Structure 1
Amino acid sequence: MMCLSTLLLLLVVFVGQSTVSSNPQQVSPLPVLEQILWERNMDGVSLYRIPVITYTPGGNLLAAVEARKSSGGDAGPKFLTVRRSTDKGYNWSPQNFIVNDGSTYYDGLNLGVVLVDDIMSSIYIFYSVCAHYEKCNTSSALYVKSVDDGITWEKPVNVSAQIGTKMFAPGPGYGIQKKYHPHKGRLIVCGHGTLAGDGMFCLLSDDHGKTWRNGGDVKSIPYNKPKVSGDFQPDECQPMELPDGSVVVNMRNQAHYHCHCRIIATSYDGADTFDIENVVFDPALNDSGVAAGALYHRGVMYFSNPNHRTSRINLTLQWSYNNGTTWAGQLQIWPKSSTYSCMTTIPGGLEDHVYIIYEKGISSLESISLVRVSLYGGLL
């Protein structure tokens, strides 16, 4: 029999979590600042792609991208490069090339996930190498770690000995540290596999990144078989945690199974499992087959992607007051060429703003741009 003190504790937790997610303050998002952080041929790099962004333990901002050295293709040699802002996004440091995969490595590094461990005040950036098996036959997942707020970075750590060498492409986006039970404090990084063995897969750590293991997944159908249009093929993804402790993963619908819209999976055990009855589609979120941004903040869920069924144009921010059951409004960020995006806010700092980093161009991808969005009326 449950004792009275335990029952009262559970009631307090339930009421506290319900209060966080019920009756959130209504938002009226408005862009108040935009600037280019990377652009074609900057510092001699052919093209910058796959932007991710996060707050830092010190209350600053950190952005990271792939610097594709000589071509715009997904394979080929690259740098991993970062920039920091210590004044809420107004000014940014010169880029810091923190990983160099060499000049002859044909299937180089691919971003990736940025992850903050708030308890240990550390930052991880996850990436893969040999993700496409182009002139190589063993894929690896690695991370670099910073313990000084993203100023310096330790040497890369290969986690393949712990998780295996099945291709795992993290994100792209951010990872999460669970703030609620179950498994409070757990680090979660989600990503996808090869196109044949595609699907959404998560890596978990319960010891602040010392060890990693494979967690829950949503596998493609048919699994490990060539795909055709219309197959079930979850792909690039972004996890979020809700105040009830559930983990919601917003996923790219690569082969447009069921609709040209997003796939949503929910786990109630800290991403250990994703039951099929908790995998749904959101017809309100158009998906042309592209990575997207998602964020849960102050009781409001936000989503950013090219809002078009078939083309990578019209980057749009949308928001929901009921955890994505319905979407209350939308704001166009950029009407022309736009693809991958990622979002963050600064906890304990400028919480009335959301930062969106995205790939931007006129007719093709030309730059990585950052837009700061005021959530409550546009005041700086």
Structure 2
Amino acid sequence: MRYAFLTCLLSLQVFAAEPAIEKLDLFAGGEGGSALYRIPGIVVTTKGTVLAYSEARRKAGSDWGEIEVHLRRSTDGGKTWSAPQHIAHSGERIEGNPHKHDEEGAKEQTVNNPVAIVDRDGKTIHFLYCINYARCFYMRSTDDGLTFSKPVEITSAFEAFRPKCPWNVLATGPGHGIQIKSGRLVVPVWLAYGKKPGDHAPSMAGTIYSADGGTTWKAGEIPLPNEGELKNPNETSVAELSDGRVMLNTRSVSKVSRRLVTTSADGATGWSKPVFDDALWEPICMGGLVAYPKKPGTLIFSNPHSLEVDAEGKPIPGGRGKRRNLSIKISYDDGRTWPVNRTLEEGPSAYSDLAVLPDGTILCFYERDKRLTVARFNLEWLTASHPAQPGSAP
């Protein structure tokens, strides 16, 4: 009996993982000929290769200007990385910046909002991006992200949104899209219809999808309109739940300062009534969302989580637009509750995206001041010590 007990104890000691986290800067402003890198996205291919990509803002930090998309690859789980590669836009230049009126500005090309999707076919990575917030393009890689096909314009897919949203700005994601169980590719999008060209508000959010492996794209419904309590929904993250439903988790400027959530059986139609998730604060910033494959029903979420205390001692959002204290949350019930919250980055931190390695290691690629950093951590790190309850200060 004693021998069996010791054997069991030793087995637990061997297989019990210790909390672990590592951080590595992948892009830094002022390097690689770019003033600033922003808008991170990250995916893990079926071969286990990590692709981390972002906007490379060549001259300044503005959303508008001369912007490219750069990518780095890792074949060892994010420990070492290839040199940055300029992957978009590789077609004919499409110049014209509506926020610039001088000769130099008119010649700028803004390549924005990159989104990758890993196909389960084992060979294809789909990649979407926009140009000048006015046109959308699609390309693919069949060699694990080493090279990409010539871009094909798919802006026509957005025309079906016009009866409900007469857009003059379009954008994908940002972050990553997903392939759901049916094989359909789903990409969150947001649309703006301001009076001036290039205005990012007012806005709505929805999805586009492909049922033929990225060859053609169609518009879904708009489940997140600019109506009632919903104020300017825009940048959206997506995940497939354990029962096959597709969840959208959306940024807005709504007064309640909470993330918007809606679900659909197919990622395009029949969306549930959007609700504000009381556990997920909204600092008016893009957030990351990913399903954790090893534990069905488990979701990981990331965004700035800065709280203060009101006159009654209750936690409240620490100022609208306050981008710091990037935190990671976990749900074990498809997003109904979020019992774990842990701070990843206490200082200035903003946009983030999430991915999961085959061994269960979680990757968070995020904006840290003027750098883009990838953090590698395990579930043991995320759930260590005393996990905060939803709505409590970290």
Structure 2 length-normalised TM: 0.77
In structure 2, the partner of 1:367 is 371
1:262 is aligned to 2:251:
no
In structure 1, the partner of 2:75 is 86
1:350 is aligned to 2:359:
yes
Alpha-carbon contact 1:54-1:63 (below 8 Å) kept: yes
Equivalence map 1:58-69=2 (5 Å): 58-69=47-58
C-alpha distance in 2, partners of 1:114/1:106? 24
Alpha-carbon contact 1:88-1:350 (below 8 Å) kept: no
In structure 2, the partner of 1:274 is 271
Query: Structure 1 residues 173, 29: CA separation in 2 closer, same or farther (over 3 Å shift)?
Result: farther
Correspondent of 1:312 among 323, 331, 334: 323
Q: For residue 169 of structure 1, what is the amino acid of its counterpart?
A: A
In structure 1, the partner of 2:388 is none
Alpha-carbon contact 2:20-2:380 (below 8 Å) kept: no
C-alpha distance in 1, partners of 2:279/2:108? 39
C-alpha distance in 1, partners of 2:84/2:278? 39
In structure 1, the partner of 2:184 is 186
Equivalence map 1:201-240=2 (5 Å): 201-222=206-227, 232-240=231-239
C-alpha distance in 2, partners of 1:178/1:222? 29
Aligned residues between the structures: 324
Equivalence map 1:32-181=2 (5 Å): 32-100=21-89, 105-106=107-108, 108-119=110-121, 121-131=123-133, 139-164=134-159, 166=167, 167-179=169-181
SS of match in other structure, 2:221: strand
Alpha-carbon contact 2:157-2:208 (below 8 Å) kept: no
What are the superposed Cα offsets for residues 344-364 of structure 1, whole Å, 9 maximum, x if unpaired?
Answer: 012xx222x100000002xxx
Ranked by relative contact order (alpha carbons within 8 Å, sequence separation 6 or more), the top structure is: 1
SS of match in other structure, 2:327: strand
Alpha-carbon contact 1:354-1:372 (below 8 Å) kept: yes
Query: Structure 1 residues 29, 106: CA separation in 2 closer, same or farther (over 3 Å shift)?
Result: farther
Alpha-carbon contact 1:29-1:331 (below 8 Å) kept: no
- Share of identical aligned residues, percent? 31
Query: Please, which runs of 5 or more residues in structure 2 have no aligned partner?
Result: 1-15, 96-103, 193-199, 307-316, 383-394
Q: For residue 58 of structure 1, what is the amino acid of its counterpart?
A: K
Q: For residue 126 of structure 1, what is the amino acid of its counterpart?
A: L
Alpha-carbon contact 2:119-2:179 (below 8 Å) kept: yes
Structure 1 length-normalised TM: 0.80
Higher alpha-carbon deviation: 144-153 or 157-166 = 157-166
C-alpha distance in 1, partners of 2:354/2:272? 27
Q: Which runs of structure 1 show a deviation greater than 4 angstroms over 4 or more consecutive aligned residues?
A: 27-31, 100-104
In structure 1, the partner of 2:390 is none
* Aligned-residue offset at 1:265: 0.7
Q: For residue 285 of structure 2, what is the amino acid of its counterpart?
A: V
Query: Please, which runs of 5 or more residues in structure 1 have no aligned partner?
Result: 1-26, 132-138, 224-229
C-alpha distance in 2, partners of 1:243/1:323? 7
Cα RMSD for the two superposed structures: 2.2
Alpha-carbon contact 2:20-2:381 (below 8 Å) kept: no
C-alpha distance in 2, partners of 1:302/1:152? 30
Equivalence map 1:300-339=2 (5 Å): 300-308=298-306, 309=317, 310=320, 311-339=322-350
Query: Structure 1 residues 59, 231: CA separation in 2 closer, same or farther (over 3 Å shift)?
Result: closer
Higher Rg of the two aligned structures:
2
Q: For residue 261 of structure 1, what is the amino acid of its counterpart?
A: R
C-alpha distance in 2, partners of 1:30/1:304? 18
* Aligned-residue offset at 1:283: 1.5
Alpha-carbon contact 1:215-1:273 (below 8 Å) kept: no
Alpha-carbon contact 1:217-1:273 (below 8 Å) kept: no
